């Protein structure tokens, strides 16, 4: 399979269509990003890397980090974790307070903000230096030191944290929060403000295409069973309230972020990350979603 040729074709087609969206501006630092950047990085299970466009430019991964943090606690808390957070698509905005109240403080899934705050709280209970340990963990998955926390983005998120703070206090009111709200929010904003390139991000997701085994860390990260379940969560919950549309058009497990990135996997084949900052009305990258749709069309395979 000539992945380089295929992603170059995809890149050119997407560029020629020139679909436009809107850069996330509710985090002011993200509004300053050049909207014309676009990159695709793909890694196969032999460790071969393929890229086109701005695939080596670091960008703010935002909610994509929620996959990494979930993996860190997935096997540690076992069944207890799933009494604190559910595994259902939300069908509501990713920062909905009404849904959290309606469901008595148990978030719908780990990828909406309330669910990610529960996961981050669990990390704070488990690890002494969670920010450093999250960075080290992602670096290990990528097989290189590549994670950087953008302090300007982090401060920008902290300065516009009213809704996330409200979600955290809601969780605490329902006894679904063990640590101090400010501490957990600081860790949460830190991992959302991490920057990585498409290539490094694809490398960090590689184990999910390989039944839980990382060729870059040279060890099993999660069991085959856990890898399948994480992929199922990404397929059903990884794209805010556009997850069904993504499954229909693309058919790959993945996770998006409002920085314009999307990381996805084709089990037993490859991992891929695509980045372009302009978003659609659901908060997903216009060009990245289109690129992945074209990719699975050209490859003639998806999960389905």
Active site residues: 63, 66, 188, 240, 258
Strands (E), the chain: 22-23, 39-44, 49-53, 59-60, 148-149, 194-196, 213-214, 219-220, 254-256, 261-266, 270-275, 278-279
For 204-215, b where at least 16 C-beta lie within 10 A, e where not — what string? bbbbbbbbbbbb
Query: Where is the binding site, in residues?
Result: 63, 113, 157, 164, 188, 240, 258
CB atoms within 10 A of CB 277: 26
Q: Are 60 and 147 in contact (CB under 8 A)?
A: no
Which two structure tokens, joined as six digits, stand for 37? 């950047």
- C-alpha 127/C-alpha 159 separation (Å) is 26
Query: Where is the binding site for substrate, in residues?
Result: 63, 113, 157, 164, 188, 240, 258
For 125-157, b where at least 16 C-beta lie within 10 A, e where not — what string? eebeebbeebbebbbbbbbeebbebbeebbebb
């Amino acid at each position: 399979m000539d992945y380089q040729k295929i992603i170059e074709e995809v890149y050119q087609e997407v560029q020629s269509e020139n679909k436009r969206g809107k850069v996330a501006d509710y985090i002011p630092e993200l509004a300053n990003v050049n909207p014309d950047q676009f990159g695709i990085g793909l890694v196969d299970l032999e460790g071969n890397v393929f890229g086109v466009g701005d695939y080596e430019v670091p960008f703010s991964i935002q909610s994509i980090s929620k996959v990494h943090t979930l993996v860190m606690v997935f096997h540690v808390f076992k069944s207890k974790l799933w009494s604190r957070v559910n595994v259902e698509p939300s069908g509501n905005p990713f920062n909905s307070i009404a849904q959290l109240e309606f469901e008595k403080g148990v978030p719908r899934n780990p990828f909406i903000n309330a669910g990610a705050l529960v996961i981050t709280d669990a990390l704070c209970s488990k690890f002494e230096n969670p920010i450093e340990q999250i960075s080290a963990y992602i670096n290990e998955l990528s097989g290189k030191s590549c994670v950087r926390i953008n302090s300007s983005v982090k401060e920008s998120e902290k300065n516009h944290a009213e809704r996330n703070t409200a979600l955290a206090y809601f969780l605490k009111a329902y006894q679904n929060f063990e640590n101090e709200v400010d501490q957990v929010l600081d860790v949460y904003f830190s991992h959302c403000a991490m920057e990585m390139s498409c290539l490094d991000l694809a490398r960090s997701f590689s184990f999910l295409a390989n039944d839980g085994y990382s060729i870059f860390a040279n060890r099993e990260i999660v069991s085959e069973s856990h890898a399948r379940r994480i992929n199922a969560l990404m397929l059903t919950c990884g794209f805010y309230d556009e997850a069904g549309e993504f499954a229909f058009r693309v058919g790959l497990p993945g996770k998006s972020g409002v920085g314009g990135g999307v990381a996805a996997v084709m089990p037993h084949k490859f991992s891929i990350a695509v980045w372009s900052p302009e978003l659609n009305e659901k908060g997903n990258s216009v060009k990245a979603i289109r690129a992945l749709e074209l990719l699975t069309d050209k490859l003639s395979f998806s999960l389905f």
